[in-house]
Amino acid sequence: MKELVLTGGGHTHAFVLEAFAQRPEPGVRLTVISESSLAAYSGRVPAWLGGECTLRETQIDIAALCRRAGARFIEQRAAAFSAAKREVTLENGKQLGFDIASINVGATLDKPAAEASAPWLLAMRPLAALPSRWQALCERVDALPSGSRQKIVSVGGGAAGCETLLSVLAELRARRPDLVFDAELLSAGNTLLPEAGRLPRALVARALNNAGVMQRTGVRANGLGERAVTLAEGAPVPADIVLWATGAVGHGWLEDSDLTLNERGFIEVGKSLEARGAPGVFAAGDCAAFPTALPKAGVYAVRAGPHLAENLRRTCRGEPPVEWQPPRRVLALIGTGNGRAVASYGLLGASGHWAWRWKERIDGRFIDRFNPGIRG
């Protein structure tokens, strides 16, 4: 029996589990370690923030997928990894040996320390922590006296930052029409959505303008102060609520592993997704650094799934893994909080209600695929 251990219940591993459920691999014992039996699916986060679907409809049931694949599921956080010793250490101190391993634990971000007098913080990664923080924010907002004014500052000009700000703003305004919500977006880059073309960028900027969001680029936020976001240069920006959506970084516990990480803490992999210098260990999705840098987007984690499944099978059989050719460009559908979305594909961009409905269809199909029967 070969011990195949998957660490993390990310999108790529969901596809691996589906593939192993459809075609079990003889002679392989499959184990999945994930911190939660339900994994967040970010595509539906804006719809959930906007009250358009339930939290459960944004989650993939990893434990159920394991049952279908005949895999053992361990609901634990991985705390250490050694390719040389061929073991994963869990947060409860137990160790799990493997012959072949794969890591798909996503990414986190450098969060500013929040003190009592600092504004209220909603950090966008890891996504698993978002529901409880969002619920607590809604309760705070519900308790505010009528007529109050709240300033929301969003840090990070990527697609996730723009999209979540627009969803949060729309939902809070709908929830408390008797309050005034002002909003400001700070981005360290010289432009919003640096990975998108000019047209989709302009469409997202227009949506932010229409929602009354002040946009400031070339401004690096570095922390939280007394009811404000502090900047690397210049006066602090007053804030009551802060959305923190800066660039992704790798999980801290990977730094103590014997895997080769890049400067942002992501596991360096070759084109086959095998970790550099660690034969039989694979990594995919946000936690991996592919030889040609890929955007940290769920769609790449998804597209890698069937390929990773195949390479894990091949490695279990003693065959060499094969290279993956990621798509050169992918479709992004960015919700704008008003029942519309911006569709972005390379240099092309368009926006409308149809784009939001399209996004809903794609994301709904994705959730249904892994959770049959969840949606009514």
Ligand X SMILES: Cc1cc2nc3c(=O)[nH]c(=O)nc-3n(C[C@H](O)[C@H](O)[C@H](O)COP(=O)(O)OP(=O)(O)OC[C@H]3O[C@@H](n4cnc5c(N)ncnc54)[C@H](O)[C@@H]3O)c2cc1C
Name the residues that contact ligand X, by CB under 6 A. Answer: 7-12, 33-36, 39, 42-43, 45, 77-78, 104-106, 124-125, 127-128, 160, 164, 251, 285-287, 296-299, 301
Tokens of 160: 């996730």
Q: Can you read off the two tokens belonging to residue 328?
A: 């050169």
Residue closer to ligand X (CB basis): 32 or 316: 32
Q: How far is the CB of 178 from ligand X (least distance, A)?
A: 28
Q: What would the DSSP string read from start to end of 279-308? A: TTEEE-GGGEE-SS---S-HHHHHHHHHHH
Q: How far is the CB of 341 from ligand X (least distance, A)?
A: 9
Gap between the Cα atoms of 135 and 130, Å rounded: 9
Pick 143 or 293: Cβ nearer ligand X = 293
Which C-beta is closer to ligand X: that of 33 or that of 192?
33
Shortest distance in whole angstroms from residue 15 CB to ligand X: 9
- Residue 368 Cβ vs ligand X, minimum distance, rounded to whole Å: 17
- Decide whether 18 or 286 has the Cβ nearer to ligand X: 286
Nearer to ligand X, 12 or 215 (CB): 12
Q: Which is nearer to ligand X, 153 or 228 (CB)?
A: 153
Contact 310, 322 (CB under 8 A): yes
> Least separation, in Å, of the C-beta of 43 and ligand X?
4
Cα(69)–Cα(63) distance, integer angstroms: 10
Categorise residue 227: left if φ over 0, alpha if ψ from -120 to 50, beta otherwise: left
Q: Min. distance of Cβ 298 from ligand X in angstroms?
A: 3
Q: How far apart are CA 247 and CA 125, in angstroms?
A: 10
Q: Pick the closer one to ligand X by CB: 39 or 355.
A: 39
Min dist CB 235 to ligand X, Å, is 28
* Cβ 345 to ligand X shortest distance, Å: 13
CB 68 within 8 A of CB 21: yes
Q: Is the dihedral of CA 167, 354, 207, 205 positive or negative?
A: positive
Q: Which residues contact 228 (CB under 8 A, 6 or more apart)?
A: 119, 236, 237, 238, 239
Q: Least distance in Å: CB of 38 to ligand X?
A: 8
Two structure tokens written together for 229: 């976001």
Q: Which is nearer to ligand X, 41 or 181 (CB)?
A: 41
Cα pseudo-dihedral 279, 281, 285, 286, rounded to 10:
-90
Other Cβ atoms less than 10 A from the Cβ of 82: the count is 16
As a whole number of Å, the CA-based R_g of the chain is 21
| Closer CB to ligand X, 25 or 35, in the complex | 35
In order of 173, 181, 243, the CA distances from 149 in angstroms are 11, 6, 17
Closest CA to 265 of 248, 250, 282: 250
